[in-house]
Structure 1
Amino acid sequence: MFDANCIFCKIIQGVIPCQAVLRTDSVLAFLDMNPVHPGHTLVVPTAHHVTLMDLPAALGGDLLDALSRVARGIVAATGAHGINLMQNNHPAAGQVVMHAHFHLIPRFDDDGLTLWPQRPYDSPDAMAAMAARINTAIAAA
């Protein structure tokens, strides 16, 4: 699967150059051109899938293996104290390139980056109700 209008598909096909750090038949990992920190790497399936929800389950093992290997490489190469794995789906969540991809971002103590604000559920009942709604949706899928 290839989308001629997708920048990541063009990178995978070699039409646009990249600094690859890992390439397999099913996954390509390359440095982000605008990194949060040097070493920030994108891990993408070589077949075009738009979001996490579109990825075939059979690809999961290859993706997890690549993510783990690349994360270890980033930490070793950069001396990072930690790493974030981020994945955005649809524009409302910050997805800019409509090809499923994972960000591996090296993190350092006191690097000034923060995660989004969190807040608790209004009550234990509200949390239980949300879990029930999600369980029902999963069962229906």
Structure 2
Amino acid sequence: MPDCLFCSIVAGTVPAFRVVDTEEGVGFLDIRPVFKGHVLVVPRPHVSQLTDLPAALLPGYFALVQRVAAAVPSALGSQGTFVAINNVVSQSVPHLHTHVVPRTKGDGLRGFFWPRTKYASDEEAQSYADRVRIALDGAL
């Protein structure tokens, strides 16, 4: 879809801090992360929400989400992850995307009120992307 931001990221016409790029999908840092290292995983084809993802693509897509969810704590030293999908409501970009957010006990996240933070620079964002990418590569 030419007007879809995430399709443009998948196509490489819009820059992003990529952590993974496979046949099943692309993972990149959220530019307004809940916590630094917050990754968005998107399928390659444009689908608006989870219910639109063809059944044949589910295993590969969720295997990729699972890999990212395993890599984030390893890469960033968090205790775990919060994995979530919004469908339509609270979906700022109408392209299916799965949030993989690093979590540590006492990090202050409560319920569904997600505070947002910013990276200090592109270099800092790139360093987070690199760390998750390296952990993903090691998990292959």
**TM-score normalised over the length of structure 1:** 0.77
Which residue of the partner structure matches residue 51 of structure 1? 49
Q: Aligned ranges for residues 102-113 of structure 1 at < 5 Å? A: 102-113=98-109
Runs (4+) off by over 3 Å: none
Preserved CA contact (<8 Å) 2:40 2:100: yes
Preserved CA contact (<8 Å) 2:27 2:39: yes
Give SS of 1:89's match: coil
> What count of residue pairs does the alignment treat as equivalent?
113
Which residue of the partner structure matches residue 21 of structure 1? 19
Greater length-normalized contact order (CA 8 Å, ≥ 6 residues apart): 2
Cα deviations by residue, 1:86-133 (Å, 9 ceiling, x for unpaired): 10011xx2111000110000011111111149xxxxxxxxxxxxxxxx
Pairwise CA distance, 1:65: 1.1
Which residue of the partner structure matches residue 70 of structure 2? 72
Which residue of the partner structure matches residue 32 of structure 2? 34
Cα RMSD, aligned residues only:
1.3
Which residue of the partner structure matches residue 93 of structure 2? 97
Give SS of 1:86's match: strand
AA matched with 2:63: D
Give SS of 1:8's match: helix
**TM-score normalised over the length of structure 2:** 0.77
Which residue of the partner structure matches residue 121 of structure 2? none
Which residue of the partner structure matches residue 9 of structure 2? 11
Whole-angstrom CA distance in 2 between matches of 1:12 and 1:44? 8
Whole-angstrom CA distance in 2 between matches of 1:29 and 1:86? 14
Point out the structure with max Rg over C-alpha: 1
Q: What are the ranges of 5 or more consecutive residues in structure 1 without an aligned counterpart? A: 118-141
Cα deviations by residue, 1:5-29 (Å, 9 ceiling, x for unpaired): 0000110111111111111123101
Which residue of the partner structure matches residue 125 of structure 2? none
Preserved CA contact (<8 Å) 1:26 1:47: no
Q: Aligned ranges for residues 110-125 of structure 1 at < 5 Å? A: 110-116=106-112
Percent pairwise identity: 40
